[in-house]
Structure 1
């Protein structure tokens, strides 16, 4: 499944970008659960929930639907709000927020949420050059 390159603000393109972000945040949570010998799917909603909620807030703050593939304009703010908001929501729900976890989460989510947009931008640039 690819995001339409010509009309990046098409409804389908926006939904694919949002869906990919949600999927990647959920995968991040599942991998984290598995790395701590917790069942990756049991309790996944509890682990991923704060980050998915913060991701949605990040989309609203960044007005991400206007440029869902933009690395700097959308990717960076969505990532920042997802990390900060996710950590705040985790703390408010009584889940752990250790410094090491914040560093790992920020790094992995940067790679995932900004990384796929960077790859998409490089592919689009390459296609337009051909």
Structure 2
């Protein structure tokens, strides 16, 4: 009976291991006097990616309620006008793609934030 339990445990382990996909997180972080920015690309395999953006206002004075942002990278980009900040924070799931060119650690990413008549670019 012990051997049957070992075989079942081994089979279960092999099935679970085959179901787990390796993913890699690539994160771009930058900070200025006014902003903390974190752009994350979670890459699965060679052609699947999910992206998110975290922006936090840390400047002095009035905290903006809304911003415009633009992201440019090798595999594409994203942007939004009048994105709402909650207590100075934007936490946005930018979506995913399959069968697309994905980000790599060496990619250059440019993020532009516009708020209250001001502009800040992050490279």
What interval of TM-score do these two structures reach, taking the shorter chain for normalisation? 0.3 to 0.5
TM-score, reference length from structure 2? 0.35
Higher strand share: 2
| Structure whose residues are more often helix by fraction | 1
